[in-house]
Amino acid sequence: MSAPRRYTGQAGLLYRRLVPIAKNLALKAWSRLPVSVRVSGPANKLRRLLQSRNVIVPPPPPVGDVPELRVVRNLEQLDVELKELDRLGAISDDALREGFRQFRMEIEDPMPTDPWSAEYSAKVFELYEFLHGKPYSVSNEVSEFDFATHVRSPFPYNTGSSATVGTHLMGVGHVIRTLDLPAKSRVLELGPGWGNTTLALAQMGHQVTAIDIEANFVKLITERAARVGAVIDVRQGDFALMKELEPGFDAVLSSSPSTTPPTIWMCSNPWTVSSSRGAACFSRPSRSATPSRTPGA
C-alpha cells in the first residue's frame, strides 16, 4: 500500500484549509439523512474516519430513542394535543416547540385535490365555520396580548429562548437576502403579525405596505414603527384588500399557508399587485417554513 501523499508549501496550506471545510459540509449533509441510514455500517465507518481526523462528529441517536409521532386524525384528538401544548407553553417556549414536534395531523375529512378550485375554497370556509362556530368574518380574528409589554418586547424576544430568537432572526435575514431587493423597492407583506420583517424592510428604506386581519397587530406595528422612525402603510383586513392597492410591487411576502383562498387568489392574479420583474416569497406549509423566491410572480 503506497504512503499517503503529502502536500507542502502553498499546496499544503490550501489543503489544510479546504479539507476541514469539505469534511464539515459533508457532515452537515450526512446529518440530514434518515436515522436508519446514519446508524448503518457505512455511516459508522465514515464517522470513525472523520473522528480520526479530528473532526467532531456527534454520534447518531439510537434507533430505539426515536419516538414515533402521534397521529391526530380528528378534532377530538386535536383538542387533547392543544391542552398539552397549553401546559407546555406555560413552562417555556422551548417546551412548547418540542411539543409540536411530537405529533402530526392526518385529518380524516380530506380536502379537494385541486387547491385552485372553487370546491377547495368552499371547503376551507366550511372548515373555518365548523371550527369557529360561525361564518368567516374579519371581525372574528382577535389575538389578545398585553400591548405595552409586547411593543417593548414582541415575539420572539418575549420568549427568552436563544433557539427561538436565533432561528427567527436567521429566517428574517434569509428572506431579505433571498429577495435581494434594490434600494427603495415597493414591498407588500401579507399577514405581518408582530412586524419583525416589516420593520426590518422599512428601516432599510423600502416602501412597505402591510395587511393584517388583526387590529391589535396593526396597532402594534404602527407603534413599533413610530418608535424607530420607520414609515409603514399598515392596513387592517384580509388579503382581499390587495384589489384596492396600486399595482407595481417589487416583492410580495406572506408567512400564511399558501393554500388559503386569499393567497390562492393573489397567486393566480399576480399582475394585480406585482411588477413584471417582481418576486413572491411564501413560507411553505412545512416544519422548516423555508421561503421560496419566484421571479416574475
Other Cβ atoms closer than 10 A to 53: 10
Indicate if the pLDDT at residue 16 is higher than 90.
no
Spell out the residues 6+ positions from residue 15 whose beta carbon is closer than 8 angstroms to its own. Answer: 7
pLDDT tens digits, 98-108: 999 999 988 77
- Using CA of residue 157, residue 162, residue 168, residue 174, what is the dihedral sign? positive
Contacts of 134 (CB under 8 A, 6+ apart): 140
Q: What is the mean pLDDT of the chain?
A: 77
Q: Given pLDDT bands bounded at 50, 70 and 90, which one contains residue 289?
A: very low
The whole-angstrom separation of Cα 271 and Cα 37 is 46
231 Cβ neighbours under 8 A, 6+ residues apart:
202, 207, 208, 225
The answer as to CATH 3.40.50.150 being correct for domain 147-295 is: yes
Domain-wise residue ranges, the chain: 9-65, 67-108, 147-295
Give the residue with greater pLDDT, 210 vs 274.
210
Predicted TM-score of the model (pTM): 0.67
pLDDT at residue 187 greater than cutoff 60:
yes
Does residue 287 have a pLDDT over 50?
Answer: no
